[in-house]
Chains A and B, each alone.
Chain A
């Protein structure tokens, strides 16, 4: 058996493993899973899931008695649960429940319910772990129930009660929010809800009680399929109705901006004409808010990654893209001052933002109204941000608000007595630092504003 070096995140499941073959993601299936694989394939179960675009499709490349190799449809950019907005998270949770219900009805069951089994592709949440299905064993409870609660219901509840930033906790709690902590973070009134009492508080109590049972003395009671379906259905209807309490802060963002409609249109037009000349297929908009400027681009894009630090802005963009079926749009949450890091065993299971974006190789990077935040809020020097953008961009469209821009003034005033330390914030210094990494192709002042747009090309 030729055992290929597996992908660093693919080692937990003995059924098979993912590996990269000349840049292409492939999956090897071990003999231990042959029976399940054959049943899933021959019954048409896989095909039904592919046709409904809920499971990533694959084709079988080879088959021997030692391994089966499949090649899944490739996903250009994977986003992780801690980069999803509230409604994206909801969609991923609902997708998992849909698949579990469909599995049960067809004699299968999900053996795990990790949030990392889902990502976003072509504008939709999609299940990417093809080997997560096992045969349903009659009258057994759902093996992955606890995992579903800690990976999906828990984070969503914390977001509901404590704000959408709670979703970021998933980058620390790799295998879901610990139940005890989760239960302690819910308000007392949650104990009065029969749904929350049983699915969170009682579950936490039972898990705590049986955590020391290493001998397997506890008897698991049989649970009918209908009863399990009832659990899945109530989880689905509860999560579907779950909302955020907070008002979206970004909501009136474009009312707060310091320039007119005419300036907005000029900015959008300039960006559009530069982009149209470059004819990119894939772009990334760093600090793209709700995708307003990406939507103004008339050139047809294969994929536009639009990230922002504000979960609510990302959520607004996602809901809009979903409603308008703008499948090229991939919104996700990212703090440019602290981009998602590589985590998991060996720090290699989940890739960092930089690793993923370098592999994605965007043709154009947009950084609009973001340099003053990086430089003044984050104290990041121009040469550092230039080197950051140069690490993954071929072309960079960057907007520079001058020192007398009202936003810049506000940021500088907030520095109080340290204001003078930021005297280096000037367009001359900006150009000097960025010229180390980029050539200036175009430069355009936006009328009626204190802002300048640059089109930069990375030096060879």
Chain B
């Protein structure tokens, strides 16, 4: 009886497995797959690169081979079990991973040219954290900070604002940041309902209210010092503009911004740079914690004055990249130095991200402004910190916007956001970065079902890589946010050593203010009548013929 069952099972297996594909004739025609996972370098610990075959055929077989191992999947939806995939990657580490696709049409099998990928020996960090957000501009529905394990498809919420949202009050959450790829210390901002900055240090959590005294705003863009309990923040007056016919749809600019340093233990806030002639933003520490990089727009160079609303000239704002040395022992800053004079090249560079090995600096640069996530011209730029040379990262860029990016802790991988797929919703792409600065072709973050990318109407925002998962649960974070907030103490209010000015631009233009957000829905506004009606028609002015 048992033998009979085994025989039946074997027959069934044989019946289900397409046969004859191994004898297929080779053809030259390529196959369209989604996502495009051809010719990429993969981390050796990445999740299965599942894909859909879009070319039409009666049947498909995909054979993965590398390091002497093979793996066969059938059907146009290629889904690889996680364990088998990792076994394959382990075998292929440091070498090629080939995908051979066989199609059957009218009973005949064809073998298509191999898709050849490279399995890098260097792993990528285990987790990526991002915000999922609809591209709305003033309202925010369900916002979620999510962590994804990169070796498989497991996702969990770090925090979800639907836990707190009431009918009247909403809550925006943003700017998550981790210390040195760990999750023991991390922070993010909550705005409006239960607003404040959530800062977790070990098992402790507190909500900090930053806006006090002369600070122009709450803390905005954060960067944890890699070793000290310090966070560099920008404080920004951010304004939005909405465009009727421009391809960028939306823009935002800083009416003003400064950099401050927050001591997590003492609660003290002090200025880092406070140049009255410059707008400084997007701070980011180097891996050794001895340099702080930031973006600065020097107003005289652009023909602008501080205090004048730059709404009418926001497209002339150009940021350069600067570095300022820091002594962790004395907690003092040195003299800033320019790293990339983007304005001189007609560019505006923001969001500096130094590689952990200290060799390179990635930034986003576009033709103007700082809100590159919506700028079609925004691209990734790479500065070699050893030579000072900057070039566009053409291997990773696309005709659409590339903006937020993060290095892996071993400096071998870069994850970044891009609108290349459809120009509206950002997706996460990963690319390899070898020791010599060669960059691999970017690939889309793998999903269990790749078609999710086509049906998800949210954008991936601010990817940050970490080695481990966050241990806080959403409800624990919610409890902390609902609790009382602690204030800060401003110290050393004298301006820090500001940015070095460059040759000023003699042209000066003033702008006018633009309101933001959706209009108040309930208030009725008068219909536009710009002239009072005349009460009568002068006699003798008829048109009687």
Q: Do A and B bind each other?
A: no
**B residues at A contact (CB < 8 Å):** none
- Using a CB–CB cutoff of 8 Å, the interface residues on chain A facing chain B are none
